[in-house]
Chain A
Amino acid sequence: MSGINLMNIARGGLLSHQTAINLTGTNVSNVNTPGYTRQRAIFDSVANLTMGATETKTGVIIKDIERTYDRFLASQIAGQVQDYEYSKTRQEELGRIEVIFNDYNEGIGQLLNTFWNALGDLSQNPSSQIERVAVLSAAQSLTETFRSVGEQLVNQQEAVNSQVVDLVREANDYIDAIADLNEKIMETKAGQGNTNDLMDKRTTEINNLASVIDFHYMEDAHGAVNLFLSDGTPLVLGLDTWHFKLDVDEDNSQFYNVSVEGAAAETAPLSSGKLAAVIDIRDRVIGGADGYLKKLDDFVAIFAEEFNRVHNEGFDMYQNQGRDFFVRDESLGEYSWIRSITVNSDIVADVNYIAASATVSGDGMNALAMGALKDTEVMLGDRRTTINSHYATLVAGIAQDVADSKRLAEHHLSLMNQLNNQREEVSGVSIDEEMLNLIKFQMGYSASARLCTVADEMIQEILALSR
């Protein structure tokens, strides 16, 4: 009897250690799997066998396979992923905008200077065709650059808008995946199965979703996680999902607003994650009442209008009063100055239409007055400043935004790294630890095997007795 019993105990030991060694193997092979949570076998002695007064343990089993996991840390990481991805996306997009302005040595500022100087030259020799053509070509380079900057910003805005579409699709995929995993986890739990692997997968999906949008989540009693936006709009409740949808913007048919199916809010309250970042870049950094396009357009408008005002006061070579020097395509609507400023086609066709003279006598005094605009302070927004200095301030403002976004992204990256390290400290795989476990479990396994031999010998001896 005891021999057979011993055999059973040995069998339990062998199986348990086998499992533990397998788990160690899983841990070791997943040492580089992102999001993997190490697993530990929990050994437990089993069922007491009462024989008279003595009580005997009858072996070991693996009671549970534990996922070493810090729930609080996981939600902290999800939050940090949102902030990090938001700041990183902003930094990337602003970096692309920065490129447009990086040629501060040759760009608009310098072209303005060339233009002012060409006007100065013209004022000294107002009847010279060479000086007139020089003014025209300086003005054309300037308007071309204005338009190109406007065009690049608009393109950037459109590129960002198309990201909104992709990101919404991505977020919806993650929402589906999470609901799907919820279902599997609830089923597995109900069937007393092991959900560790599924939980890891779900945590990964939650972090994926966190990279796109910001949300809160909590786990319910059945093992499902429920996801809510910051205003309480549900995204996932158990098996049910609410998707993001794209609505065409009323003011701009090319732009999409993001809302949640069935939610009261017209636009989803997003403040973090990639999606919020691209919307922010599209609607507030490039577009919007304080956006770069508006600021640049205001700048070009005041430059062109001031210049036209002075130009119109003068007389051209045919003794006509000056016509508008800079024109735009007003049908473009918003930002039409920066997107469509050109030199009046009459002047392009005949430079004698440049009104360089202050009188009908063909002097150069109006060219001097136009050139003097370089020092004239104009009112832009709430600041009085010269045209050049205003542009410099604009560029410096953009540069500051880029620099700030870089700093913020770096800050969030280091927080992210710290949290990841904390997570790895708890849940990550340590090879040394696993090796020690391996030795330990191998020893246990060998010992259990030894037990088998002993039990076998014991049984053989008993059998020999009966022979």
Chain B
Amino acid sequence: MTMRVTEMMRFNTMYSHLSNVQLRYAEILEKMASQRNINKISDDPSGVASIMNYKKEQSVITGYQRAIENAESWITITESQLTSAAEILINAREIALSQGTGTATDETRLYAAEQVSQLINQLQSIANYQYADRYLFSGTQTATQPFASVASESPQLGLPRQAGGNAFSGDISVDGNYEGTDNRSYVVKILSADEDTGEITWAVSSDGGRTWGEESDPEVLTAGTTTVPLDDDGGIDLVFESVDGAPAAGDIFYVDAFAAGYYKGNSDELSVEISKGVTFEYSITGDSVFSPQGGVDVFALLNELKEALEDDDSEAVLGTLDGLQRASIQVNTAIAKCGTRMNRLDIAKNNLTDLDFKLTELVSSREDVDISELVTDFAMQEIVLKATYSMAAQMGTMTLMDFLE
């Protein structure tokens, strides 16, 4: 049997071809209008995954860039405050030099003592400088004023406090003496509390709650006698003086402990993430610049100078010179630190900008249409569509019927 060509075949074939051509034409139009290669995720599944990953990287970079900008302004402010501090120390040194000589009299020394007192006040306000409501030099405790106006003679313990959401109510006190040379917070966390037996267990942290010791043995909570040893030597205890409401698991009690001296902040530097997995410490803690932890206790030294001047003791005045020299070096070292940190941030920032640019390119190469290619395609599809239309229009115009009378 020879091949038959029937009307249905002709029309069906035309239908399917016409709809194919129209579909391709519509696809090109959609790409033209949206200027995007991927209009539905099924257009390019692996491309979608890549783009999403690139976009995440880009967004992360934006986050890093913002963090770097913040850190930069923090460092800039720190640097300018430290520069003022360095000038104050130079002034103090000049005073010490001039008032240490024989030409100075008790009157000039008294006057100079007043000057030094002013310098101390200025340095206090520098050391307690707030940027955006946050103390520059108090470590990570940016809400705590870092330097007290009067030094504490010996290490001290603060008042015991408890968290706002504690179930416990009652009085707590702290017993014992702190002998450390750094500022820290002891934290007690109730791990379990048995309502029936009244037994509780707890864990203690000596670094503010970052790391925890082992869980204690269960102990029945008794007002006045239950004590929680806060440090390993057992020198400091938290005492539950009275219990009005029993503690529950998760209750937090904490005690701040301060080393001797002026500094009330901590030794942790503020840090930000500036690239994947890299945290960058950008703040300068007050203790490293102005306290014995950094070498010279600057406030103590200036007070010493002031007192020596008031006492008209030229030898003592000259005796501060060496310390003032070292204090200047101490402050200048911190200024230099700011400079190197700025450099590092600059490098990181440039890297990020480069990376961002490359990622934008990568996203664009997968997502954005190639206009010249698309226009060529468009022209081609238009020709195909026109040809198909004209064929369709002529279909069936010629049959045997045309030749029958």
Q: Which residues of A contact B (CB under 8 A)?
A: 31-32, 98, 101-102, 104-105, 109-110, 112-114, 116-117, 120-121, 123-125, 127, 315-316, 318-321, 358-365, 368, 371-372, 374-375, 388-389, 391-393, 395-400, 402-403, 406, 413-414, 417, 420-421, 424-426, 428-433, 435-436, 439
Q: Which of B364-396 contact A (CB under 8 A)?
A: none
Q: How far is the CB of A350 from chain B (nearest CB, A)?
A: 10
A398 near B400 with CB under 8 A, answer no
Q: How far is the CB of B304 from chain A (nearest CB, A)?
A: 31
What are some 23 contacts across the A-B interface (CB < 8 A)?
Answer: A32-B8, A109-B52, A127-B143, A315-B252, A319-B163, A320-B252, A321-B252, A359-B140, A359-B185, A364-B270, A375-B277, A391-B52, A393-B49, A395-B49, A395-B52, A399-B41, A399-B44, A400-B42, A402-B40, A402-B41, A414-B16, A428-B7, A429-B8
Point out the residue from A360, A397, A429 that lies within 8 Å of B187, measured CB to CB. Answer: A360
B209 near A435 with CB under 8 A, answer no
Q: How far is the CA of A389 from the CA of B66 in the complex (A)?
A: 23
Q: How far is the CB of B53 from chain A (nearest CB, A)?
A: 5
Segment among B56-64, B145-153, B233-241, B292-300 that sits at the interface with chain A: B56-64
Q: How far is the CA of A436 from the CA of B390 in the complex (A)?
A: 28
Point out the residue from A31, A32, A360, A396 that lies within 8 Å of B45, measured CB to CB. Answer: A396
Residues of B within 8 A of A105 (CB): 51, 55
Residues of A within 8 A of B13 (CB): 417, 421
Most A C-beta atoms less than 10 A away, residue of B66, B140, B187, B399 = B140
B16 near A417 with CB under 8 A, answer yes
A360 near B49 with CB under 8 A, answer no
Q: How far is the CA of A417 from the CA of B13 in the complex (A)?
A: 8
B66 near A104 with CB under 8 A, answer no
Q: How far is the CA of A462 from the CA of B294 in the complex (A)?
A: 149
- State whether the Cβ of B70 lies closer than 8 Å to any Cβ in chain A: yes
Q: Which of B27-56 contact A (CB under 8 A)?
A: 39-46, 48-49, 51-53, 55-56
Q: How far is the CA of A102 from the CA of B40 in the complex (A)?
A: 6
Asked, given contacts A430-B5, A430-B7, whether A399 binds B165 with beta carbons under 8 Å apart, the answer is no
B266 near A428 with CB under 8 A, answer no
- State whether the Cβ of B104 lies closer than 8 Å to any Cβ in chain A: no
Q: How far is the CA of A433 from the CA of B53 in the complex (A)?
A: 63
Q: How far is the CA of A182 from the CA of B370 in the complex (A)?
A: 60
User: Beyond the given A362-B143, A425-B4, A428-B6, could you list 20 further A-B residue pairs with CB under 8 A, ordered by the A residue number?
Assistant: A31-B7, A98-B41, A105-B51, A109-B55, A117-B60, A315-B163, A318-B164, A318-B165, A358-B208, A368-B272, A388-B52, A392-B49, A393-B49, A395-B49, A399-B44, A403-B45, A417-B16, A424-B8, A433-B4, A435-B399
Residues of A within 8 A of B254 (CB): 319, 360
Residues of A within 8 A of B70 (CB): 124
- State whether the Cβ of B134 lies closer than 8 Å to any Cβ in chain A: yes
Q: How far is the CB of B244 from chain A (nearest CB, A)?
A: 19
> Can you name the residue of chain B whose Cβ is closest to the Cβ of A318?
B164
Q: How far is the CB of A176 from chain B (nearest CB, A)?
A: 29
A399 near B42 with CB under 8 A, answer yes
Residues of A within 8 A of B155 (CB): none
- State whether the Cβ of B142 lies closer than 8 Å to any Cβ in chain A: yes
A361 near B208 with CB under 8 A, answer yes
Q: How far is the CA of A413 from the CA of B141 in the complex (A)?
A: 69
A125 near B276 with CB under 8 A, answer no
Q: How far is the CB of A282 from chain B (nearest CB, A)?
A: 20
B49 near A432 with CB under 8 A, answer no
Point out the residue from A361, A395, A420, A425 that lies within 8 Å of B141, measured CB to CB. Answer: A361
Contact string against A for B residues 127-158, beta-carbon threshold 8 Å, 1 for contact and 0 otherwise:
00000111000001111100000000000000
Asked, given contacts A361-B140, A363-B140, A429-B8, whether A116 binds B66 with beta carbons under 8 Å apart, the answer is no
Q: How far is the CA of A439 from the CA of B276 in the complex (A)?
A: 86
Residues of A within 8 A of B268 (CB): 363, 365
Q: Which residues of B contact A (CB under 8 A)?
A: 3-9, 12-13, 16, 39-46, 48-49, 51-53, 55-56, 59-60, 62-64, 66-67, 70-71, 132-134, 140-144, 161-166, 185, 187, 189, 207-210, 250, 252, 254, 266, 268, 270-273, 276-277, 279, 399-401, 404
Q: How far is the CB of B250 from chain A (nearest CB, A)?
A: 6
Residues of A within 8 A of B62 (CB): 117
A395 near B8 with CB under 8 A, answer no
Main secondary structure of the interface of B (DSSP, over half): mixed
Q: How far is the CB of A133 from chain B (nearest CB, A)?
A: 16
Most B C-beta atoms less than 10 A away, residue of A124, A316, A318 = A124
Q: How far is the CB of B131 from chain A (nearest CB, A)?
A: 11
B208 near A359 with CB under 8 A, answer yes
Q: How far is the CB of A52 from chain B (nearest CB, A)?
A: 43
Residues of B within 8 A of A417 (CB): 12-13, 16
Point out the residue from B45, B134, B144, B250 that lies within 8 Å of A321, measured CB to CB. Answer: B250
Residues of A within 8 A of B41 (CB): 98, 101-102, 104, 395-396, 398-399, 402
> Can you name the residue of chain A whose Cβ is closest to the Cβ of B138?
A361
B56 near A112 with CB under 8 A, answer yes
Residues of A within 8 A of B277 (CB): 372, 375
A117 near B66 with CB under 8 A, answer yes
Residues of A within 8 A of B16 (CB): 413-414, 417
Point out the residue from A125, A318, A396, A420 that lies within 8 Å of B48, measured CB to CB. Answer: A396
Residues of A within 8 A of B276 (CB): 375
Residues of A within 8 A of B66 (CB): 117, 120-121
A435 near B404 with CB under 8 A, answer yes
Residues of B within 8 A of A109 (CB): 52, 55-56
A120 near B273 with CB under 8 A, answer yes
List the 4 closest A-B pairs by CB distance, nearest first. A359-B208, A318-B164, A428-B6, A363-B140
Q: How far is the CB of B78 from chain A (nearest CB, A)?
A: 14
Q: How far is the CA of A191 from the CA of B52 in the complex (A)?
A: 71
Residues of A within 8 A of B144 (CB): 361
Q: How far is the CB of A207 from chain B (nearest CB, A)?
A: 15
Residues of B within 8 A of A429 (CB): 6-8
Q: How far is the CA of A364 from the CA of B277 in the complex (A)?
A: 16
Q: How far is the CA of A360 from the CA of B141 in the complex (A)?
A: 9
B51 near A432 with CB under 8 A, answer no
> Can you name the residue of chain B whose Cβ is closest to the Cβ of A410?
B20
Q: How far is the CB of A397 from chain B (nearest CB, A)?
A: 8
Residues of A within 8 A of B272 (CB): 120, 123-124, 368
Q: How far is the CA of A362 from the CA of B266 in the complex (A)?
A: 12
Q: How far is the CB of A142 from chain B (nearest CB, A)?
A: 13
Residues of A within 8 A of B162 (CB): 319
Residues of A within 8 A of B56 (CB): 109, 112-113, 374, 388-389, 392
Q: How far is the CB of B142 from chain A (nearest CB, A)?
A: 7
Point out the residue from A315, A372, A406, A430 that lies within 8 Å of B273, measured CB to CB. Answer: A372
Residues of B within 8 A of A375 (CB): 276-277
Most B C-beta atoms less than 10 A away, residue of A98, A117, A429 = A117
Q: How far is the CB of B80 from chain A (nearest CB, A)?
A: 20
Residues of A within 8 A of B185 (CB): 359-361
A359 near B207 with CB under 8 A, answer yes
Most A C-beta atoms less than 10 A away, residue of B5, B49, B141 = B49
> Can you name the residue of chain A whose Cβ is closest to the Cβ of B132?
A125
A368 near B273 with CB under 8 A, answer yes
B9 near A421 with CB under 8 A, answer yes
Residues of B within 8 A of A368 (CB): 271-273, 279
> Can you name the residue of chain A whose Cβ is closest to the Cβ of B74?
A124
> Can you name the residue of chain B whose Cβ is closest to the Cβ of A114?
B59
Q: How far is the CB of A131 from chain B (nearest CB, A)?
A: 11
Q: How far is the CA of A273 from the CA of B47 in the complex (A)?
A: 32
Q: How far is the CA of A113 from the CA of B53 in the complex (A)?
A: 11
Q: How far is the CA of A417 from the CA of B6 in the complex (A)?
A: 14
Q: How far is the CA of A91 from the CA of B141 in the complex (A)?
A: 58
A320 near B165 with CB under 8 A, answer yes
A361 near B266 with CB under 8 A, answer yes
A318 near B163 with CB under 8 A, answer yes
> Can you name the residue of chain A whose Cβ is closest to the Cβ of B254?
A360
